[in-house]
Structure 1
Amino acid sequence: MVSKIITRGLLALTAAGVWQTQVHAGGFSWGEANTDILYERGNATVQAGVTYVNPRRDFDTINGASSSDDPFSQDYAIPNVAAMGRISESLACAFTYTKPYGGDSKYGPQARAADQAAGLPASSNYYFGKKFHANEYGATCDVSFEMGKGRLHFLGGGFMQDFTYKAESFFGTLRLEDDSAFGYRFGIGYDIPEYALRAQLMYRSQIEHKADGDFTPLALAGLLGSAPVAADGHGTLPQSLKLSLQSGVAPGWLVYGSAEWTDWSVLKTLDYNIAGLPPQQDQYNWKDGWTLIGGVGHQFTDKIAGTLNVRWDKGVGNGADIMTDTWSVGAGAAIDCGPGQLRIGGGVSYLTSGSQSTAKGANFNATANGDWAYALTASYNIKF
């Protein structure tokens, strides 16, 4: 029998440790909607937090010459908000917000010069920088039933996702935006709170974005004029399937892990059109991604629990860019303070070396040595 205090601590570790300090996740993955809040047995729970990520990816060589450019990957922040209300013993619903996908790159003078020297095929626009992000607003409900010593859960709901894209180049600035696209998630889970045991399988659908916007000419002002011209684009962000497991293994100790498949192979290109110009595209040609996580948690005192986890993200790049394997170590703590619980953590990632080549769709040849990324996260949870 697991005592009440240990049970509380182990469940806190689940929230503090499995929220995954995403130092540098695979592909364009950023945040994940906090649907775990549906397993809380109180009448209502609210959690809000933010993760700050400092990736440090840079080019080691560009077209065979040593590079002195600064890191091209830029810092970013991932908000995460969830509010759960229990309607009955068997029904609870949660509203969630996060940024599930994003990317932000600014290229140095050597990379810009190499891009410009490549000429102007459909995939080359002499980029200074690219930035995009997606916001997800979701609602998910959980219907649960007693089964054996625990409860069987059926989870499902929908979400609205927007998309904003900006690319600055020698020729001008492209802006695209999709106000709303819709998707869904569903899953099944089983938990025994007495032993901090939980198993869950969750599916999230892919999203098709069709965006409108404009292009403000710079070098092309002589051809298109200086006023913005109409533009549009389309692309697909992937579906995913995630299996999560956890269990108490001894008084005050918890082990957990997850395996997630993400269908990044759907992102071959981002296609767009600018009035007065031929069709354009950004090439990715990515492979499917896999993320594996394993961790352990421990209850130190009545009010403090801690966790340590290791994460591996399979590289999705296929040579058109440098998206390699990533190894991460994260640590976190859950601290009862005030009316709720403070959850803090941090992590460090090692981005393995890699290369890109024009033969595989890149605008120029380049290599990257192993690089590092860092993250800090904090959230606060209140139960009613």
Structure 2
Amino acid sequence: MHDTHSQYIRELADSQGLTVIGHIGVPPPAIFDGRSLVWAESPWWLVNLVKAVWRWGLNPWLLQRYSAQFWDRFSAVYELQTQGQAYDSPEDLLRAAGVYDDSQVTLFEAVEAALGEGGWGTDLFKTEVVGAITRAAYGQTSLQLNALSGAAALLAVTDPGGFSIEGGFPGLASALLDSANASLHLGAESGDFDGIILAAPLEGSQLDLAGVPDLAPRFPRSFVPTVTTLVRGRVRASYFGQPAATQLQYGRVLVTADSPVPFSSLAKVQLAPGQPSLWRLTSPKTLSHAWLSIVFEAGWQVADATTWAAYPRSDPPEDFSPFLLARGLWYNNALESVAGSLEAAAMSALNTALLVKRDVKARLDGT
């Protein structure tokens, strides 16, 4: 998460007294093309500057400008919600913030416009940097991903300053439920309620929304499966084209768009003194024992492997399900199909709360 670009999540964590950990001193990232590290960040900024210009020209700064301009527009959502503005559909919300058009084009098209064509290192930059980021963040290419989701992913690289929450997001969710005095009812089949908020993806849910017309065609979206594998052991530096006798010096390795390797990212998630490190790999399919034996030195162990429907499959121009399904029925996940992040989920939740507030006021006024 990012201090500036995840304001709601940061505020929620602070409100619950949870420990927020800044990502200071995280080992620098690297980019792998399947044969060698085409980019290995140095702790010296001047070295990085020279290397970046030599390989990619001015494209890193053009991308940074594009991301900053996008954020200037997207952050208008915070001001609108502070004013109490509520919207019946994601289209209305995104249009009010000035970013609806970003959901209607691919990230590739948006980056083409931002970087231009044929400049020094442009094609290489798209494949190695933009492609690596979208592959790691959403398991999709810039040709598949809409520019709204893609620009949000690029912000994490063009404007670094991340944080994490001790206990993870399950800890945050648990703390919020406790503070709200929420009650969980299992096995309840029916009941009368003043209002209902659906807080789960309707795609694949098999929910029958009787009396809500013409909604079924709005939920055809599939999800991109992702396998998260935790491996305890030591990475073979030689797999990444580094000297065999050394340790891999980078805490996170991304993979270029055209790399044939079966994983999307590799990240160190635990440093335990005297014990092998714990590494997290993401991949579109289950990683084989044979392949893991190539990447890790003898003695490695899989601590966990989980397959999950991680991200909505992007298909711009995007269509949206409404927040307001019917009087007294709201859909909290309407924005997820185009901006699948925790901050976007928090924005959706606040918009839904504002819609409920508007409805309650209207009922009290007799309208």
Q: TM-score range, shorter-chain basis?
A: under 0.3
Calculate the TM-score normalised by the size of structure 2.
0.22
Which is bigger in relative contact order (C-alpha 8 A, separation at least 6)?
2
Question: Which structure has more strand as a fraction of its residues?
Answer: 1
